[in-house]
Copies of this chain bind each other. A is one copy, B any other.
Amino acid sequence: MKVAFVGLGKMGVAMAGQILAAGHELGVYNRTAAKGDDLVARGAARLASVADAAAFADVVVSMVENDKALAAVTLGEGGLVAGLARGAVHVAMGTHSIAQVKAITEAHEAAGQQFISAPVMGRPPVAEAGQLGIVAGGPADAVARVQPLFDAMGRRTYPAGPLPMSAAAAKIVNNFLLAAAIEALAEGFALGEKCGLPGDALLEILTDGLFAAPAYKIYGKMIVDKSYFDAPGFTATTGLKDVNLALGAGEALAVPLPTAGICRDRLLSAIANGHAGADWSVMAHEQARASGIA
């Protein structure tokens, strides 16, 4: 398949590399062109602009950092909506807000193009191994058409139905549940500690039973070890961005989300106290502080 890839951050480079490795004809574009050097060395065509990307192929994948970057790539002069042929497909694989995904869905539909929101689960090493989880929301025929690309990039594709915003929602909910789990663990471990219960004992009890899942194992251990001040996987600031995606979605669709509100306040407290750059499990430090034990 002939495909253009826009957005070559760490994730984008890894994902585009898998598409290339699967034998597809790939063109790449990034604002800082040098990020694409390795891909070009491996045979990808270098594209000079988003407009060139839209002209290069009838399938364009975008993997950009946030809503603003997605709007820049998609809307306005020189954007994908202006440049793509009728019937062409834009697959946005970044994590974007419901409001933005809705707006872009409408823009592409008005231009007779197809739009798929396909956010991914997994960090760069997972992307490099072609093992991402991919949630695909969009018209069934469009999803079927780009399935070979998903197969190249991912371990599994989860269908989210015909609406792009449904896929965006899945990713947003997944990340929100992670924030909620960290907050609950933070509360639980503070209570345990004040009851004299060793953190590792509590962690073992939880994760050997009802909570035998990566979310609890990974973040429970960070909380027990108080390692949130070490190299962060995901900072408090980034975590807040994710919680805000959930709150924004709740606002757009009139869904109250009290647990998300608590996570937001906890992260703001952490940030207010100088921990914006710590791992977002620093929520536990802030809870400990509020409990008089930090």
Provide the bound-state CA to CA distance between A160 and B287, in Å: 22
Would you call A15 an interface residue if the criterion is a C-beta within 8 Å of the partner chain's C-beta atoms? no
B-contact 0/1 string along A258-278, CB 8 Å cutoff: 111110111011011110000
Q: How far is the CA of A166 from the CA of B205 in the complex (A)?
A: 12
Provided the pairs A160-B197, A213-B213 are in contact, do residues A261 and B261 lie with their beta carbons within 8 angstroms? yes
Cα A209 to Cα B121 in complex, Å, equals: 8
Name the one of B177, B188, B198, B271 contacting A211, with C-beta atoms under 8 angstroms: B177
Q: Which of A160-182 contact B (CB under 8 A)?
A: 160-163, 165-170, 172-174, 176-178, 180-181
Q: How far in angstroms is the closest Cβ of chain B from A278?
A: 14
Interface contact B180-A180, CB-CB below 8 Å: yes
Are A255 and B163 interface neighbours, CB within 8 A? no
Complex CA distance for A194 and B272, rounded to whole angstroms:
10
Of B214, B265, B272, the residue contacting A210 (CB under 8 A) is B214
Partner of A272, one of B174, B187, B204, B254: B254
| Contact of B256 with A259 in the complex, beta carbons under 8 Å | no
Cross-chain contact A251 with B268 (CB below 8 angstroms)? yes
Q: Is the interface of A mostly helix, strand, loop or mixed?
A: helix
Residue among A98, A185, A257 having the largest count of chain B Cβ atoms under 10 Å = A257
CB distance from A209 to the nearest CB of B (A): 6
Q: Which residue of B lies closest to A171 (CB)?
A: B205
From B137, B181, B189, A184 is in contact (CB under 8 Å) with B181
User: Which chain B residue lies CB-closest to A258?
Assistant: B262
> A205-B174, A254-B291 in contact; A260/B187 too (CB < 8 A)?
yes
The answer to whether residues A195 and B258 also contact, given A201-B160, A269-B291 and a CB cut-off of 8 A, is no
The reply on A23 being an interface residue by CB < 8 A is no
Contact yes or no, B191 A255, CB < 8 A:
yes
- Contacting pair A188 B195 (CB below 8 A): no
- Most-contacted residue by chain B among A184, A195, A272, A287 (CB, 10 A): A195
CA distance A287 to B290 in the complex (A): 10
* A169-B195, A184-B181, A274-B292 given; A215·B205 CB < 8 A: no
Q: Tell me whether A268 and B249 are in contact in the complex, defined as CB-CB below 8 angstroms, given that A188-B177, A191-B172, A274-B292 are known contacts.
A: no
CB closest chain-B residue, reference A276:
B254
A212's partner among B214, B274, B286 (CB-CB below 8 A) is B214
A178 touches B262 (CB 8 A): no
The closest CB in chain B to the CB of A253 belongs to B194
Pull 7 A–B residue pairs with CB atoms less than 8 Å apart, ordered by A: A161-B198, A163-B196, A178-B210, A187-B257, A187-B260, A256-B268, A258-B258
Known contacts A173-B189, A269-B291; can you find 14 more A-B pairs with CB under 8 A?
A158-B208, A163-B195, A173-B191, A180-B183, A180-B259, A194-B255, A254-B268, A254-B272, A256-B269, A257-B265, A258-B261, A259-B262, A261-B262, A265-B290
